[in-house]
């Protein structure tokens, strides 16, 4: 029996958060004394630095541009059977979530997505956010194989010490399964405002309308180096462009201060704000999950609080 970690892809290279999955795998390995395999799903994504004596590495003989979910499912499930994997770990990103759950049909196993912690005692229990982040769901693993996807930023990255690329298993893929190329489109990334700002003010669904965003912009203007961003839903509504979206499907930010305004705080959003040094949440719902990850909380209606705050700053500086 063994543990399989499936590397994720970001910017057409191995996503460094793959190392976080290795930490999760180590926790399981320490209990069950199982070998860890790491699978790099493509040959051209600079996976070499993830190859080590500590793990066994396999690479699919496929280019990232030949990506098709069903092809990955077909060959990764072969690997799973061959190495008799009990625990299959993927990363919860838009790239990997496209195919990892489908493995469960192929290998007849349960898949639990978006886990953020792991408890290894007599049984292994995985925990995921549910009910829009309002609750944690704890699932006891009593059957293997099991597939899990790990929320990025939930585990400390593992440090690989002895990188070596001698003993890599290459999984051959016949030409008939290599599809026409798909196109990666990189959007104009001149907008670096979220990378450079000291203070980011985030707007959530609770702002109610595009017009109300003006209040958020006025609020941000109070700070010398600031920017405005939004949750997924605010961008889906077209109130802000997608380049301003924070979360798993958007940007990860690391400002000095992040102020979440009327954002409930789903795990999708929270995954993108962990780099912020100080997190402040303003929300009228005292039970909003955002307060669980904030350093300071203000329970207030933003439409009352923010105008008073702006007034106060203008009168005192």
Partner 1 sequence: MLTKLKILVCIKQVPDTNASLCLNNGMPEYDEKTVYVINRYDEYALEEALQLKDRDLTAYIHTISVGPGRVQKALRRSLEMGADEAFHIQTQDDGLNTPYVIAQTITQFAQHTYDIIFTGVMSEDAMNQQTGQLIAAMLGYNYATGVTELSLIQNTITVTRELDAQESLIYDVPIPCVISVQSSTQKPRYPSLSNVLRARKQEIAIIKPDLAIPFAQTKCHFTMPQKTTQCKFIEGSMLKKVTELYSILHKNAVL
Asked if residue 115 binds partner 1 (CB under 8 A), the reply is no
| Residue nearer to partner 1 on the CB measure, 81 or 277 | 277
End-to-end CA distance of the chain: 65
Per the CB < 8 A criterion, the answer to whether 154 and 117 are in contact is yes
Return the range that interacts with partner 1 (CB under 8 A); candidates 32-40, 47-55, 162-170, 277-285: 277-285
- Kindly tell me which of 174 and 238 has the beta carbon lying closer to partner 1: 238
Using alpha carbons, list the distances in angstroms from residue 28 to 41, 119, 120, 264: 22, 9, 7, 32
Q: Is 193 left (phi over 0), alpha (psi -120 to 50) or beta?
A: alpha
- 302 touches partner 1 by CB under 8 A: no
Is the bond into 242 cis (omega within 30 degrees of 0)? no
Decide if residue 278 touches partner 1 (CB under 8 A).
yes
The minimum distance between CB 96 and partner 1, in angstroms, equals 10
Out of 11, 33, 159, 161, which residue is the one contacting partner 1 (CB under 8 A)? 11
Question: Smallest distance, Å, CB 68 to partner 1?
Answer: 8
Which parts of 200-219 interact with partner 1 (CB under 8 A)? Answer: 205
69 makes contact with partner 1 (CB under 8 A):
yes
Residue 223 engages partner 1 in binding (rule: CB under 8 A): yes
Please tell me what DSSP assigns to residue 291: G
CB of 187 to partner 1, least distance (A): 6
- Give the shortest CB-207-to-partner 1 separation in angstroms: 14
User: Do the Cβ atoms of 215 and 203 come closer than 8 Å?
Assistant: no
Q: Which helix (H) or strand (E) holds 228?
A: strand 226-230
């Amino acid at each position: 029996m063994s543990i399989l970690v499936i590397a994720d892809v970001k910017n057409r290279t191995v996503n460094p958060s793959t190392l976080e999955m290795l930490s999760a795998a180590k926790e399981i390995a320490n209990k069950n004394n199982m070998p860890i395999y790491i699978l790099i799903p493509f040959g051209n994504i600079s996976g070499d630095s993830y190859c080590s004596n500590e793990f066994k590495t396999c690479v699919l003989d496929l280019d990232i541009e030949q990506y098709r979910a069903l092809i990955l499912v077909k060959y990764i499930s072969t690997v799973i059977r061959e190495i008799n994997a009990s625990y299959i770990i993927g990363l919860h990103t838009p790239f990997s979530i496209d195919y990892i759950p489908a493995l469960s049909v192929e290998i007849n196993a349960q898949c639990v997505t978006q886990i953020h912690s792991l408890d290894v005692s007599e049984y292994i229990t995985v925990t995921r956010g549910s009910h829009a982040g309002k609750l944690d769901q704890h699932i006891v693993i009593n059957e293997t194989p099991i597939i899990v996807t790990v929320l990025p930023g939930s585990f400390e990255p593992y440090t690989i010490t002895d990188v070596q690329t001698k003993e890599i298993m290459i999984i051959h893929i016949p030409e008939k399964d290599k599809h026409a190329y798909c196109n990666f489109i990189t959007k104009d990334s001149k907008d670096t405002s979220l990378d450079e700002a000291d203070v980011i003010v985030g707007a959530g669904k609770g702002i109610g309308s595009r017009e109300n965003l003006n209040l958020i912009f006025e609020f941000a203007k109070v700070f010398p180096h600031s920017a405005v961003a939004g949750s997924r839903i605010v961008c889906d509504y077209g109130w802000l462009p997608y380049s301003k979206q924070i979360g798993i499907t958007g940007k990860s930010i690391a400002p000095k201060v992040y102020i979440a305004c009327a954002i409930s705080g789903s795990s999708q959003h929270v995954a993108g704000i962990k780099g912020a040094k100080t997190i402040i949440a303003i929300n009228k719902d005292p039970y909003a999950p955002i307060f669980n990850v904030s350093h300071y909380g203000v329970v207030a209606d933003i439409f009352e609080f923010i105008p008073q705050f702006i007034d106060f700053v203008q009168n005192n500086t």
